[in-house]
Structures are given as C-alpha cells and as structure tokens.
Structure 1
Amino acid sequence: MQTIDYKDFDKIELRIGTIIRVEQFEKARKPAYKIWVDLGENIGVKKSSAQITLHYQPEDLMGRQVVCVCNFAPRQIADFMSEILITGFESDGGGIILTSVDRPVPNGARLF
C-alpha cells in the first residue's frame, strides 16, 4: 500500500449529503441509478451515477445520508453528467455497500 501525507488527504473533499432523488439509469452499460444528493447550502444539489442496484432499491435510498467525493472532475456517463462520487465498500457477495454515518449530520459537512 502506498502511503500519503496529510496534505494529500486534505485535497480530497469528502462531504456528507442526503439523497433526494433516484432514477433507474437505463442507458448505463452496467445496472446503475441516477442519484441527486443535497450537499447543503454552499454546494447545492449534485448528481451521481452509482452502480449500487444489487443491495439497494430506489425507495430505500431516499433520505439516506452518504459520503461523497465532491472535487473530482465531472464525468460523462452515457447521457448523464456525474458530478460527485458516492463512496462505498465492495461486499463479500459483490456489489457496493454505501458509506454513511450512524447519526445525522448537516449536509455539506466535511469528513476530517
């Protein structure tokens, strides 16, 4: 594993947001959702494409807080511009388990 120093970690904008909208992403090559995340007053609502269909249904995602990388360059995926990366961990059986918090925190709060 490569080591980094704190200056490198500090460049990554990891922030919490609340999922406010979810749609099936029909044009994605692999099963995915289009997700809109409210990242608070200073950042606003940002979009992401997420391949999390194995463990989550759209109705289960609404209102859920997730940890996002907010300062990656936007990425075009089919006809959808993904502006943030919603983080997660690969599960033993495949698929992604979302990174979250155990108590609500303000949207836009930064992970340190």
Structure 2
Amino acid sequence: MSEIRNKISFDEFSKVELKVGKILSAENMPGYKKILRLIVDLGGEEREIMSGLAKHYQPEEMVNKNVIVCTNLEPRKFGDQVSDGMILAASNENGKPILLTVVEDTIPGSQIT
C-alpha cells in the first residue's frame, strides 16, 4: 500500500473544478516536440489547452475524445500560446499517459461530482 502524501482537506478538494470536455481539434505545437495544442468543448465555451501528449498520441487520435479537464487552474504560457486547463491522465506500466474519460457519452461541460 502506498503512502498518501500531501493530504488536503475536503474544502481544498472542493475548489478543484473538473468537467467533461470533448476534443474538437488537435495539432502539434510548433517548437515543442512533446506538446499538442487542443481545442476542447466544455459546454458553453471552447478552451485552448496545451498537453504533453505528443510523444504518445497523434493529433488525429485525439479528436472527438471525451476527456476529464481541470478547468480552474491558472493559465500557463507555452511560447505565444496560453493553456487554459489540464487534461487528466494516468500512466500505464510503460509511462504512456492514459486519458481519463467517462464510460457513457455525456454532454461536454458536465461537472464531475
């Protein structure tokens, strides 16, 4: 059993905003070998999110995938682009990121509760 580090309170966790997003487009980001530039539908809005998935996924593999997105992180700059969210993933035994998703189709922007 692994040790739990950096425990947070329920109140701290409740500040994390997770939503279902649908990837509308994906492309390699010029000047970055590991980064994909994604446009993600979050219901009432579309967001540009940079994600370190390019070593493991081709852009065309990403389109139309439902993913889990942390939507209330502070934006982060990648060159001239700004990433406004984070796609969640787990790692397999080889270190490949496995995208977190939902089992059934759901509406983009659905809140994770």
Maintained 8 Å contact 2:28/2:54: no
Unpaired runs of 5+ residues, structure 2, are none
TM-score by length of 2: 0.89
**Counterpart amino acid of residue 92 in structure 1:** E
Give the % identical residues: 28
1:59-82 deviation line (CA, Å, top 9, x unaligned):
111110010110011110112100
TM-score by length of 1: 0.89
Aligned to 2:36: 33
- Cα deviation for residue 10 of structure 1 reads 0.8
- Cα deviation for residue 9 of structure 1 reads 1.1
Unpaired runs of 5+ residues, structure 1, are none
Report the aligned-residue RMSD: 1.3
Maintained 8 Å contact 2:50/2:83: yes
| Of 18, 22, 26, the match for 2:26 | 22
Matched, 1:3 2:7: yes
How many residues matched?
109
Structure 1 CA distance for aligned equivalents of residues 71 and 85 of structure 2: 5
Structure 2 CA distance for aligned equivalents of residues 103 and 34 of structure 1: 25
**Counterpart amino acid of residue 23 in structure 2:** I
Alignment of 1:51-90 (within 5 A): 51-90=52-91
